[in-house]
Amino acid sequence: MGSGAMTGLLTLLLTAALLGCFNGAMGKVLVKRQTFAFTSSSYSFTLSAYVPGTSVGKLATTLGLNAGVTWRVTSPNNNVAINYFTGEMFLINYVQQCTSPQVVPTTATTSANVTISTNVIISVGCSTVSGATTVASTAGAPVFSQTQYTLATQVCSLKTLVGTVAATSSTGLTNIFAVVGATSYFYIDPRTGEIYLTAIPPTATTSFTVSVVNAAGTATVPISVTLNCVATTTASSGSAVLNFGMTSYTFSNVNGVAGAPIDQVFATNSATPSATVTYTTTSTQFTVNPVNGLISVGASGLAVGTYTLTVTATDSTGQTKTTIVTVNVTTAGAAATGPTTPFVPTPGPGGLPDFG
């Protein structure tokens, strides 16, 4: 083999190796998905006060705010509750100081019914200045506005507000509400007394008890909720519910070079997880992969700045959903030039590449 042919062969092998590395790296980008996880591998909070209504701390996921994530404390807890919509934990009872840390099992669930769990460690401590740990007196003890509540709803979608309980204090003390024991079907906002549907009960009527506590005392009231379902939305009902993992997306530190991959949007049908989803956009500055939702810079490249685009997801059941994507370009890029596919040398005599 002549030196020229040998040089050509080595060049070809080097080119193939480089292209393989490039394609391998690109392959990693193409399969990137929005990861659903907690923002911390563990959560540990130390109480600053020990009275009902005290904010313990707030949990979060990588999907960010307004992503439709719902939160639960998964075992009965008479001291701590979590806001079903925001992930903020509250005290719903007086907590005794100088006691062992509490372990609170907690879950986060997406609109596509993907659930992750973690244990939250709440340290109580031994402070002497953080407030009372028991009811101080009976003056201004809470009184419910009704001796019992009979509620009903015809809308059986999750997160439906089914009713509100109310309590007063003659001295204007702050009241904190809680469900006594545990129910996986209803959530009560500790501060407003609003009751929301969190799962579809097995029977039409469900009964449970709600408590209220303030610095002067406690009270309880029986609750009865009847579901006369005209509209039902659950993952098992067969209804088509297509949602993105987030209500909106923001991608930062983007390179504006033409064709550069940015990140992925992702949508699923919670009632029909096997439904095929395709993605489209009308943007002239960006493209979206119709199969995996990967957003890339368009052929013209982008200057440094902030851009927005709308992405539409359409699934095989006929459902559609749109989301807004904000892209922050921090490195200016040039327009695409030349061929869009790698150069492949033409075989010469004997099958060796002919580099001319």
pLDDT digits (tens, 9 = 90+) for 68-113: 788 988 887 888 889 888 899 988 888 888 888 889 999 998 877 8
> Mean pLDDT in the chain?
79
Residue pair 74/105 in contact by the 8 Å Cβ criterion = yes
48 and 63 in a single domain? The answer is yes
Helix (H, G, I), strand (E, B) or coil at 275: coil
pLDDT digits (tens, 9 = 90+) for 34-72: 688 999 888 999 988 888 888 899 999 988 766 778 898
**Last residue of some domain: 180, 211, 234?**
234
When divided into structural domains, the chain yields a total of 4
216 and 140 in a single domain? The answer is yes
DSSP 8-state assignment for residue 196: E
Largest CA distance in the chain: 103
**What is the reported pTM?**
0.55
Looking at the domain assignment, is residue 123 inside a domain? yes
**Last residue of some domain: 199, 234, 269?**
234
Domain that holds residue 192: 135-234
The CATH number that applies at residue 68 is 2.60.40.60
**Last residue of some domain: 102, 128, 154?**
128
Residue pair 338/310 in contact by the 8 Å Cβ criterion = no
Count of CA atoms in the C-beta half-sphere (13 A) of 180? 13
Looking at the domain assignment, is residue 349 inside a domain? no
**Neighbour count for residue 249 (Cβ, 10 Å):** 24
209 and 272 in a single domain? The answer is no
Residue 27 has pLDDT above 50, yes or no: no
Residue 296 pLDDT: 93
110 and 139 in a single domain? The answer is no
115 and 162 in a single domain? The answer is no
161 and 147 in a single domain? The answer is yes
Looking at the domain assignment, is residue 6 inside a domain? yes
23 and 75 in a single domain? The answer is no
**For tokens 């005599």, what's the residue?**
349
139 and 183 in a single domain? The answer is yes
168 and 201 in a single domain? The answer is yes
Tell how strand 248-255 and strand 320-331 pair up.
parallel
